Amino acid sequence: MKKEQLLNIAQEFGSPVYVYDAYKIESQYKRLTAAFSNVKNLKINYAAKALSNISVLKFLKNLGSGLDTVSIQEVQLGLVAGFKAQNIIFTPNGVSLEEIEEVAELGVQINIDNLSILEQFGSKHPDIPVCIRINPHVMAGGNTNISVGHIDSKFGISIHQIPHLLRIVENTNMHINGIHMHTGSDILDIDVFLYASEILFETAKNFRNLKFIDFGSGFKVPYKKGDIETNIEELGKKLSSRFNEFCGNYGKELTLAFEPGKFLVSEAGIFLAKVNVVKQTTSTVFAQVDSGFNHLIRPMLYGSQHEIANISNPDGRERFYSVVGYICETDTFANNRRISEINEGDILTFKNAGAYCFTMASNYNSRYRPAEVLWYNNEAHLIRKRETFNDLIKNQEVIEFDNKKVVN
């Protein structure tokens, strides 16, 4: 998107505001499907937790995507967006058996990641097909905060527990139709991912009635100029060949599934914030914006880097700024970053703001969550209104107090 278009959006819808480029989402989706075009049956299940706005979900459905969900609420959002139940997979962690049963009643594909729930569900519902999430004990990602395949992870059933798993399946006579893994986000080493895939293939041999193998996702996208990213084309070539070979040995064509979130929407998102104050201290120049970690927590939570640009003065002389928010906490987006000279009232853009940004927003300091805009066919569409004071108080019940002493 051009800076003039972004400035117009900030003026029309106010700031802060999230903007998503539909064209970029579509191009990423097509890039992924093209990389695995040699696989007969490919299923892309978009990870709703990355960005769960109903309009975005509907757009991805229209591209042909399925949906990966982690809560019954995400399942319900998917149904509202028009996804058929059979095109939704439910991969929760640590939820109750009752929530899994409630989702199963909707006709959604269930994916179970612990032995206790597997045995309980299989004993009660042996005829409902179940996918099993395996922990291969392989970290294909970088940051340990977002890698979930390590041995101490709370996610998945350990490969060392396969004998126990098989006993549960045999004793309950339950129907296993899929095998799944997810090693974590920001996959850097394709060979490590392929090694984890071999573990999944080996596990799959234990089940003769599979319909699909789900390899998760976690593909890395570039967050700054010159940043490395997952080579999707190389991964597609190598994994497709190995998958087709496995299907030949297995005796039937299976579906190769992925559940990308960040890969599809991260680069499509831009966060716009207005500079409230430029503050000079003894050693630092702060650009203080009308936002904070209540709207964009990833830099504070993960140490993630979002490229920041001043679109109000793109050709200005670069200076060093620390970009911070207006929250009554340390909410630093960037330290000593080179940015075109900033003045109060300027609009800053934060790139790679499509994934795990708005979905992690909160009302901390009683601030409103921002609006969301979808840029589609060269037009800005408001897809979520900015919150108001009524949104803050609508679910609160206010009780009346008298002046009498409180009694314990």
Cis peptide before 163 (omega within 30 of 0): no
Query: Half-sphere exposure (CA, 13 Å, Cβ side) for 199?
Result: 24
For the question of residue 357 being annotated catalytic, the response is no
Do 139 and 186 contact (CB within 8 A), yes or no? no
Query: Of 84, 79, 186, 95, which is closest to residue 133 (Cα–Cα)?
Result: 95
- Give the separation between CA 142 and CA 130, rounded to whole angstroms: 30
- Quick check: helix, strand or coil at residue 113? coil
Active-site hit among 131, 247, 328, 357: 328
- Give the separation between CA 224 and CA 127, rounded to whole angstroms: 49
Q: What are phi and psi of 336, to 5 degrees?
A: 45, 55
- Quick check: helix, strand or coil at residue 27? helix
Do 79 and 69 contact (CB within 8 A), yes or no? no
Which sequence positions are flagged as catalytic?
A: 328
